[in-house]
Amino acid sequence: MTFKELDLIDPILRALEAEGYTQPTPIQEQSIPILLKKRDLLGCAQTGTGKTAAFSIPIIQHLHAEVDPKQKRQIRSLIVTPTRELALQIDESIKTYAKFTQLKSTVIFGGVKQLSQTKALQQGVDILVATPGRLLDLIAQGFISLKHIKYFVLDEADQMLDMGFIHDIKKILAKLPERRQSLFFSATMAPAIIELSNQILGNPEKVTIQPKQTTAEKVDQSVYMVSKDDKVKLLVHLINEKEAASTLVFSRTKHGANKIVKKLAQAGIEAEAIHGNKSQNIRVKALNGFKEGRIKVLVATDIAARGIDVEELSLVINYDLPNVPETYVHRIGRTGRAKASGEAISFCDAEERAYLRDIQKLIKQDIPLVEDQPFHDTSKEEKPAKKENNNRNSRPKNSRSRKQQPSSTYGNHS
């Protein structure tokens, strides 16, 4: 299957060709024909599967056909996404795919002054990419009207709920025209997600892409048993040993991310952190530096990392294991994209061993244990998952269940 076989218009095909894209990903191949028929879509897909192109290309094709040069531009497509980084990435992709059309897009998000955003809106916009808070703020100020929306996308719905945006989403839905094409994407389909999708969609087509095992198979994974006190030393050791072109380090908390950067600096390793307490300008500067190779090590919380799309990312290090196993798949999926292979290393201290079991159960494979390393922790050590079948119910005394200990990055509007 090629993009030419998907009945796409010439301006879009030229844009895709200019980027070197010839074959659609599975979600693009399945979604684009549905969306070109103007059907509603419920998509279950993770970051890195190509869903931005899957929903933006059909919208661009519809809007291009409907352009009336005699009329003032009105916002006819709205894409709502949870984080600033992801909003910026989506807008950048739309501009790429629409560059041979006359369509205009812009992006709005909080954390920065609104003047440049309101100026862009006043000049006329066809496609608006927005985070919920700033969108509602500019609607209240009279800068945005949603009455002309024909195409609505809610992206990363699971993260919307995790970040506490459910009430904002309901306010936005109340302002949309009833007659519209709606697209809903989420990496997971928990009951709360399904309930929200039912409020947005009308008899949708469904597309489910499950890259869990393919991602896990493509990425060279390993786990290092290490005490909490030795994690920084192990991180310094690995960064120096691996000499990777780019290393993305995941911290469970914003405070932890800052601490890691400080400790790395003391060891002579330059790194930057991105999380919800950093200003938008600092986050964009750090992310651009990482993408361009000026910054070799980026430390991020899970939500701030949404939207990070770095070609040929060499190494992902889980400094803290996530307490939600699906998050692990999101993280390691940032390396080993497309046809590239990648490497993902996880640190596991005594309190995180229950999380490790949950992750291995989800991906249906055992993550190889690296014992030949200078900070290997043998104290109270359990056997690796593949050898602990007779003791599945044991949990470390100090560990908490996932429900008892939600990630502290969730619930912050980073």
For position 329, what pLDDT does the model report?
81
- Residues 142-185 have pLDDT tens digits of 999 999 999 999 998 988 887 788 899 999 999 999 999 999 99
Please tell me whether residues 319 and 186 are part of one structural domain: no
Per-residue pLDDT, averaged over 252-263, amounts to: 93
Query: Which residue among 190, 208, 226 closes a domain?
Result: 208
Phi-psi region of 164 (alpha: psi -120 to 50; beta: other; left: phi over 0): left
Please give the helix or strand (H or E) that residue 221 lies within, else none.
Answer: strand 219-225
DSSP H helices in 191-279: 191-200, 212-218, 231-242, 254-266
For the full predicted model, state whether its pTM sits above 0.95: no
Burial of 54 (0-12, 13-18, 19+ CB in 10 A): buried
CATH of the domain at 172: 3.40.50.300
If pLDDT is split at 50, 70 and 90, which confidence band does 337 have? low
For position 403, what pLDDT does the model report?
35
For position 331, what pLDDT does the model report?
84
For position 215, what pLDDT does the model report?
54
For position 312, what pLDDT does the model report?
67
Q: Minimal CA–CA distance to 128: which of 102, 94, 169, 156?
A: 94
Q: How far apart are CA 345 and CA 332, in angstroms?
A: 9
Q: How far apart are CA 299 and CA 89, in angstroms?
A: 19
pLDDT at 412 over 50: no
Please tell me whether residues 174 and 268 are part of one structural domain: no
Both tokens of 161, joined, read 């709920």
CA 204 to chain centre: 23
Task: Give the residue with greater pLDDT, 69 vs 254.
Answer: 254
How many C-beta neighbours within 10 Å does residue 45 have? Answer: 22
Residue 413 lies in a domain: no
Query: Which residue among 163, 182, 208 closes a domain?
Result: 208
pLDDT at 372 over 60: yes
Q: Is 262 helix (H, G, I), strand (E, B) or coil?
A: helix
For the chain, how many structural domains are there in total?
A: 2
Query: Which residue among 158, 175, 208 closes a domain?
Result: 208
Please tell me whether residues 267 and 339 are part of one structural domain: yes
Please tell me whether residues 242 and 200 are part of one structural domain: no
If pLDDT is split at 50, 70 and 90, which confidence band does 387 have? very low
Please tell me whether residues 87 and 199 are part of one structural domain: yes
Residue 399 lies in a domain: no
Secondary structure of 68-119 as H, E, C letters: CCCCCCCCCEEEECCCHHHHHHHHHHHHHHCCCCCCCEEEECCCCCCHHHHH
How many C-beta neighbours within 10 Å does residue 209 have? Answer: 21
Query: Using N-to-C axis directions, what is the helix angle for 10-18 and 51-66, rounded to 10°?
Result: 140
Please tell me whether residues 21 and 66 are part of one structural domain: yes
Please tell me whether residues 237 and 165 are part of one structural domain: no
Range of the domain at 284: 212-391
Which of 275-279, 391-395, 399-403 is the most confident on average? 275-279
Q: How far apart are CA 113 and CA 123, in angstroms?
A: 18
Q: How far apart are CA 242 and CA 56, in angstroms?
A: 38
Residue 319 lies in a domain: yes
Residue 245 lies in a domain: yes
Residue 405 lies in a domain: no
Please tell me whether residues 294 and 369 are part of one structural domain: yes
pLDDT at 395 over 50: no
Please tell me whether residues 193 and 299 are part of one structural domain: no
For position 271, what pLDDT does the model report?
94
Please tell me whether residues 113 and 190 are part of one structural domain: yes
pLDDT at 407 over 50: no
Please tell me whether residues 279 and 218 are part of one structural domain: yes
Please tell me whether residues 279 and 367 are part of one structural domain: yes
Per-residue pLDDT, averaged over 275-285, amounts to: 79
Q: How far apart are CA 26 and CA 280, in angstroms?
A: 33
Residue 117 lies in a domain: yes
Residue 414 lies in a domain: no
If pLDDT is split at 50, 70 and 90, which confidence band does 304 have? low
